[in-house]
Chain A
């Protein structure tokens, strides 16, 4: 699903954000991308979304070589990815509902479908009662959940999140991670960047660790434990 081949990203002669990074994430996987601040996590995510281009190497996402992708194809490619940004990127002048329905307008869905889809996406993050609230009226955690609902609304092939639990308390972090786990169960490939080593190491998911722009460690996912479906998700964290 996501393939990096010897990818290097330099912003100028003196700052190399990523150095010769190669990894492969298969369809349906749940992967943590970890590393300290400045390790290159956000740069890597930006490369996947093709916000920036690599200086060297090739990136293939969902069978498309991003270097060869035409600009006109970019919007359709991005619609396959549900992205949760570190700074949420919610539109402040729009209500929670409008922030979600706006995506559906972009995708060409009828206004009738907007309400139904927005409501169910917000219900998945337990914010269906805040439909008419504005982002600034919400707490950081709630804004984060709206951003996740927006990423999930299109039932994306890939779900990518940049520090989704960055400023949240442990209980809320667990809830947020559960949402990603549910999306993964529904078939989305999940790539989650976090600098929270404890959180990452508590989980049994695959981990790619970055430091100074290079992969320093790769931990494969532990085999799933035999447990009821809902319970196994919880145990896996």
Chain B
């Protein structure tokens, strides 16, 4: 009776040291199959590095968009033949609209001065001209809320029709394009990432399958002495999880190294593009997402293998 009771107790027991056993076994198996494990880790790292590069690009372009949106400008270029009354009427029209009231008048001389300071290499060309080619203008600071409001487009049309107004230009069109580009980069990054993560998961699945073949006899013995499927599969699942985690951590380290080197070497060249691209590293949420992506790919790969093996082997 006592023995029966002890055996019944075994059925209810959850091994207390199981997780330690899983991790120890998984690390040992990774070490035993170093080369093949390295290949799986490298593939995960490369996959996530590519995803990370896309994310970093999109992140920094996104930052540029937010920055540009915060100080969007509307330029109302005046006809060179506009009378002072017409200019005053345009000024009054702008003053009457709170969204466009923060305005600044740029005279033709100021426009020429600006051009010379921005494009010093071209100032000689302008000097050769008989007269100042730049029109006077009003520059209005516009908030992102105003740009997206429904009433804004009719207002622009009305402004264009005012006397003395030659053209109305606004710089958020490129912001919109940039936003679209950020969206495309994000989508391409996610698609490429998903494809590469699936490829990495299948690589891990194959690595785990090979490991399982290597331990086939041991697994059979485990089954015969009463090991549950979770105890048999546990080390393989942890092995895949560890490979995915190591690969993801490696990809984040490589991404940061690339960012650091880029920021040090390319950003100081004063190129607008480089200063945009290396404005900052990924936020912690995206770093965690990359890490989680690696872990999920690793776990999924090993889960696929152990699931198949469970169906194949009749104990």
> Interface of A with B (CB < 8 Å)?
49-51, 71-72, 74-80, 83, 85, 89, 91, 102-103, 105-111, 150, 155, 157, 187
| Across-interface contacts of A71 in B (CB, < 8 A) | 315
Contacts of B7 in A (CB 8 A): 79-80, 157
> Among B13, B225, B228, which residue has the most Cβ atoms of chain A within 10 A?
B225
- Distance in Å from the Cβ of A64 to the closest Cβ of chain B? 12
Asked whether B3 lies within 8 Å of A83 as measured between CB atoms, the reply is: no
Q: How far is the CA of A77 from the CA of B217 in the complex (A)?
A: 21
Nearest-neighbour CB distance to chain A for B216, whole angstroms, equals 12
Interface of B (DSSP majority class): helix
| In contact, B17 and A111 (Cβ under 8 angstroms) | yes
With a cutoff of 8 Å between Cβ atoms, the chain A residues found around residue B6 in the complex are: 155
The verdict on A110 contacting B224 (CB below 8 Å), with A74-B315, A91-B218, A157-B7 known, is no
Chain B contact patch, size range: 20 to 34
Whether the pair A110, B13 counts as a contact (CB closer than 8 A) is no
Instruction: Judge whether A105 and B15 touch: CB under 8 Å.
Output: yes
Residues of B within 8 A of A77 (CB): 226
- Which residues in B have their C-beta under 8 angstroms from that of A49? 224
The answer to whether the Cβ of B231 comes within 8 Å of any Cβ in the partner chain is: yes
- Flag if B17 contacts A110 (CB, 8 Å): yes
Contacts A105-B15, A108-B18 given: A83-B315 contact, CB under 8 Å? no
Give the CA-CA distance A108 to B231 in the complex, in Å. 10
Q: Name the A residues within 8 Å of B4 (CB-CB).
A: 157
A150 CA / B4 CA spacing, docked (Å): 19
Partner of A91, one of B10, B18, B221, B315: B221
Q: How far is the CA of A108 from the CA of B3 in the complex (A)?
A: 17
Q: A51 and B226 in contact (CB under 8 A), knowing A105-B15, A157-B3?
A: no
Contact A107–B15 (Cβ < 8 Å): yes
